[in-house]
Structure 1
Amino acid sequence: MARIFITGSSDGIGSVVARDLVKRGHSVVLHARSESRANDAENACPGAESTLIGDLSSIADTKRLASEANKLGTFDVVIHNAGLYHGGFKKTPEGFPALFAVNTLAPYVLTCLMNRPKRLVYVSSSMHYSGDGTLKDIAWKERGEKKWSDTTAYCDSKLHDVILALTVARKWKGVASNVLDPGWVSTKMGGRMANGSPESSVKTYVDLALVQGNVKEDDTGEYWVDAKMRTPREEASDQLRQETFLKACEEATGVKFPEA
């Protein structure tokens, strides 16, 4: 039996994946941003071990969430599923756009501060191919609210998630770090027009978490779509860009990436 922590598991694909893993006999810890959302998560996934609460748009709260997760011990698998798409610039307590804080900074902080699991799964999107590979203004300090675009920011953040997954794979031996594209699935984020297969999406999550299907124990630093390896944006594998990304995240959060 594996112990698995899934961020953003109060609804959407995260909740479906949680239910699937619980039905398979695994111990799943859910995550929600508030008490009310925690109740939703537990009602949707009876049998879950527990639910951790933390607002990922707040760096301080994300750090606290990491501490609370560590009190539960070390997980076998952590799935960084939480994400935002729409909502506008919407500043966080630290002054960052909420989308950037949730999609980019939160997985970085949790990765750095949580006990290292055996497996890490990050959720990206095919939209990462349109992200800004220069990484010149990842926090939107220069562009600001006047130039804000939900779609542009989302594409950038999904590229950041691929970069983070591949960086972890390169630096942390003994930790399998992979990233997946769930496809365009009809959820609150995806909308009603989405035509992706929920079954295929869930299978990719579950295969990576449990090392089954096409996934091998030593597969790491790979990008997965429809439970198969695909080739991510070339820039994500560039070590100079990876180091630039880590430095930007450290400056934004005050959290240094553990090298060894």
Structure 2
Amino acid sequence: MALILVTGASGGLGYATATALAGAGHDVVVHARTPARVTAPPGGGRWAGVVTGDLAETGEIPGVARQAAAFGRFDAVVHNAGTMRTPEAATVNTVAPYLLTALMARPSRLVYLSSSMHRGGATDLAPLADGRGSYSDSKLWVTTLAMAVASRWEGTAAHAVDPGWVPTRMGGPGAPDDLVAGHQTQVRLATDSDITPPTGGYWYHQRTQEPHPATRDPAFQDRLLQALEDRTGIRLA
């Protein structure tokens, strides 16, 4: 069984992912903004651990990484936490996954939540420096981060997932996609070693698609990593 961290697991896709993993017997550490937001898994079970911190506040993200380090090296990390609000979107959706990736011990598997809306994101990285990036921008950038890690970290599988437009608090009750299908891909990528491609995939409902071309451009990946280093002061090894 695997030790897995799921960020943004107080509800929605994060909670669905965490409960599915725990139900399969994995040791799941959940992240939430505050302890009050943590919901126990169904059936009276308990999480393997809880870490807390507001990922919209850059200064709190290293603390989340330190809390996670107390559990040891994770087999997988699912970077699920997200928001559509600006100006928080760039920090929560891109900066937080970057910092947690850079500050935590390398897991065997990394899963980053993307969106079909990443295809409308901007390759202009100036908004990343001052937090003006839109939701679409942030999802383009985090998808690029996933592809950059996949091409740079041998021994760690990194993938990006479009969960679809699902009926969560963020997606709204009228969202047309299925919530179960929305988290099954994350569960599989976090636990299954027999994946094709083994790293660098962009997934939608357990099938790969082609992401925005910029995400696979090494030059754009380099520019993004530099912009994230400039903003945070932390270099991705």
**Alignment TM class, shorter chain as reference:** over 0.9
Q: Secondary structure at the match of 2:112?
A: strand
1:202 aligns with 2:183: yes
**1:240 matched to 2:197:** no
**1:235 shift after superposition:** 0.6
In the alignment of these two chains, the number of paired residues is 236
Letter in 1 for 2:83: L
The 2-side partners of 1:219 and 1:160 are apart by 21
Which of 215, 218, 234 is residue 195 of structure 2 equivalent to? 215
* Equivalent residue, structure 1, for 2:48: 49
**Greater mean deviation of Cα atoms: 194-203 or 9-18:** 194-203
CA distance in 2 between counterparts of 1:16 and 1:226 reads: 15
Match of 2:138 in 1: 157
Provide the residue aligned with 2:60 in structure 1. 61
Does 1:108 find its partner at 2:87? no
Matched, 1:138 2:128: yes
> How many angstroms does 1:99 deviate by?
1.7
* Aligned residue type for 1:239: P
> Structure 1 residue 188: deviation in Å?
0.3
* Letter of the 2:74 counterpart: F
Q: CA deviation at 1:192?
A: 1.2
1:140 Cα shift?
Answer: 4.3
Residue identity (%): 40
Q: Specify the code of the residue in structure 2 equivalent to 1:42.
A: A
| Deviation at residue 193 of structure 1 after TM alignment | 1.4
For 1:167-182, list aligned pairs within 5 A.
Answer: 167-182=148-163
- Gaps of at least 5 residues in structure 2 are none
CA–CA distance in structure 1, aligned partners of residues 103 and 184 of structure 2? 28
What is the distance in 2 between the residues matched to 1:227 and 1:256? 32
Moved more, 44-53 or 9-18: 44-53
Q: 1:83-128 CA distances to partner (integer Å, 9 max, x unpaired)?
A: 0013xx4xxxxxxx32211111000000000010000000000000
2:187 maps to amino acid: V
Q: CA deviation at 1:201?
A: 1.4
Could you say which residue in structure 1 is the equivalent of 2:115? 125
The residue number in structure 1 matching 2:228 is 249
- The partner residue of 1:98 within 85, 88, 96 is 88
Partners of 2:200 and 2:208 in 1: how far apart? 10
Unaligned runs of 5+ in 1: 90-96, 145-151
CA distance in 2, matches of 1:76, 1:117: 5
C-alpha contact 1:10 1:37 (8 A) present in aligned 2: yes
Question: Which has the higher mean CA deviation after the structures are superposed, 62-71 or 41-50?
Answer: 41-50
**Bigger radius of gyration:** 1
- SS of 2:111's partner is strand
Secondary structure of the residue aligned to 1:244 is: helix
Deviations 1:152-210 (A, max 9, x none): 70000000111000000011000000010000000000001100011211211111111
For residues 126 and 211 of structure 1, what CA distance do their matches in structure 2 show?
24
Q: Deviations over 1:16-70 (max 9, x none)?
A: 11111111111100001112113xx236683311110111111221011111111
Amino acid at match of 1:80: H
Indicate yes or no: 2:83 matched with 1:84: yes
Of 221, 224, 227, which residue of structure 1 is paired with 2:203? 224
User: How far apart, in 2, do the equivalents of 1:236 and 1:16 lie?
Assistant: 27
Give the SS at the match of 2:128: coil
Counterpart secondary structure, 1:139: helix
Do the aligned partners of 2:19 and 2:41 also contact (CA within 8 Å) in 1? no
CA contact (8 A) 2:41 2:47 kept: no
> What secondary structure does 2:134 align onto?
helix
Tell me the TM-score normalised to structure 1 length: 0.86
Whether the 8 Å CA contact 1:124–1:159 is kept in 2: the answer is: yes
TM-score, with length taken from structure 2: 0.94
Distance 2:30 2:218 in 1: 33
